């Protein structure tokens, strides 16, 4: 059985690849698809089959997927173009004879989820369900790693500015998402399953600030903002004006209860508990301001 990983040179794809190879998958049974094959020279040296594939070039995907049996479709980062890209990948997988596709979606993906990316994920899910292929949905919560720069700013200023209101978010480490994806890709029995992949606890704004303080060794206070003020603050701190509403939409989703789900998926599929936000921040401690010497 040959396993395919798309976006294999990205952060998640690389970690999935490591889990597969370290978990006993023969390198020759692993097809790694990327726009930049030269970036996977290390995996190729281990014997993995590295192939060029571009989501904007469906023909390249059909060739890249040829001979594969099970595919992990990692969502691309091309916001606004992801639906046709993902649909092309699903169609290419079917044309290439792939039998099973696991797709990395968004926790609580639905038509009423206000996160700006929810619609793209939902459209991809619907296309996959209608494809006739066997499928699994890996609905990942927000990555804990994305909170590292937020923590750095909060520790530097002493203020965690947020628009999540009284909402909660169960942040998940990218590493745990990779472990789940590897387990689903290589193991049977996942057909037709929807996995909401979350961290161990749903955190309030105060909980998040406390995690920042715990790891960074500095006090952090919460500053609650409405969406407009939050967007203005992002732009003031250098976030492009067109991107700021996207970030604000995630806060709104948490505020409206779309990120508070806590499941046992990580432990059930990997045999280990998921990492906490504080655990992930500690792994990236070198990116945070250091406490003043006493």
* Section 107-118 average pLDDT: 96
DSSP-derived secondary structure for 59-82: HHHHHHHTT-SEEEEPPPS-TTTH
pTM for the model stands at 0.96
pLDDT-derived band of residue 258, with 50, 70 and 90 as boundaries? very high
Mean pLDDT rounded to a whole number for the chain: 96
What percent of the chain shows pLDDT beyond 70?
99
Q: What's 192's DSSP letter?
A: T
Q: Assess contact for 82 and 105: CB atoms under 8 A.
A: no
Q: CB 122: neighbour CB atoms within 10 A?
A: 17
Q: Assess contact for 242 and 173: CB atoms under 8 A.
A: no
Packed helices 118-129 and 82-95: angle between N→C axes, nearest 10 degrees: 20
pLDDT-derived band of residue 294, with 50, 70 and 90 as boundaries? low
pLDDT-derived band of residue 92, with 50, 70 and 90 as boundaries? very high
Residue 21 confidence (pLDDT): 94
Name the nearest CA neighbour of 12 among 130, 91, 105: 105
Tokens for 56? 């904007």
Q: Kindly report, residue by residue over 41-55, the tens digit of the pLDDT.
A: 999 999 999 999 999
How many angstroms separate the CA atoms of 256 and 110, rounded?
13
How many angstroms separate the CA atoms of 124 and 2, rounded?
23
C-alpha 68: how far from its chain's center? Answer: 23
Longest dimension (CA), the chain: 64
- The single residue listed with the structure tokens 């945070």 is 288
pLDDT-derived band of residue 290, with 50, 70 and 90 as boundaries? confident
pLDDT-derived band of residue 292, with 50, 70 and 90 as boundaries? low
* Section 75-87 average pLDDT: 94
Tokens for 125? 């899910």
3-142+173-197 has which CATH code?
3.40.50.720
* Section 93-115 average pLDDT: 97
What ranges do the domains of the chain cover? 3-142+173-197
Q: Is the pLDDT of residue 293 over 70?
A: no
Q: Kindly report, residue by residue over 3-38, the tens digit of the pLDDT.
A: 999 999 999 999 999 999 999 999 999 999 999 999
């Amino acid at each position: 059985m040959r396993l395919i990983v798309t976006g294999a040179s990205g952060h998640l794809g690389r970690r999935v690849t490591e889990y597969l190879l370290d978990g006993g998958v023969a390198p020759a049974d692993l097809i790694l698809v990327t726009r930049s094959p030269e970036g996977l020279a290390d995996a190729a040296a281990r014997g993995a089959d590295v192939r060029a594939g571009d989501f904007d070039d469906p023909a390249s995907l059909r060739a890249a997927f040829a001979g594969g049996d099970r595919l992990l479709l990692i969502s691309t980062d091309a916001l606004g173009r992801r639906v046709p890209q993902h649909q092309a990948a699903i169609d290419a997988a079917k044309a290439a004879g792939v039998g099973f596709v696991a797709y990395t979606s968004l926790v609580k993906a639905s038509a009423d989820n206000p996160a700006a990316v929810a619609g793209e994920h939902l459209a991809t899910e619907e296309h996959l369900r209608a494809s006739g292929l066997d499928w699994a949905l890996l609905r990942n919560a927000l990555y804990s790693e994305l909170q590292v720069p937020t923590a750095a700013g909060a520790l530097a200023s002493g203020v965690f500015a947020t628009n999540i209101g009284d909402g909660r978010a169960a942040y998940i480490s990218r590493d745990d998402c990779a472990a789940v994806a590897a387990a689903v890709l290589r193991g049977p029995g996942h057909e037709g399953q929807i996995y909401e992949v979350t961290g161990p606890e749903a955190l309030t704004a105060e909980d998040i600030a406390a995690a920042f303080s715990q790891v960074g060794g500095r006090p952090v206070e919460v500053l609650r903002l409405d969406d407009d003020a939050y967007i203005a603050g992002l732009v003031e701190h250098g976030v492009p004006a067109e991107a700021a509403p996207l970030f604000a939409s995630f806060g709104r989703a948490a505020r409206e209860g779309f990120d508070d789900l806590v499941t046992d998926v990580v432990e059930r599929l990997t045999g280990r508990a998921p990492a906490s936000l504080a655990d992930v921040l500690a792994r990236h401690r070198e990116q945070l301001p250091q406490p003043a010497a006493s």
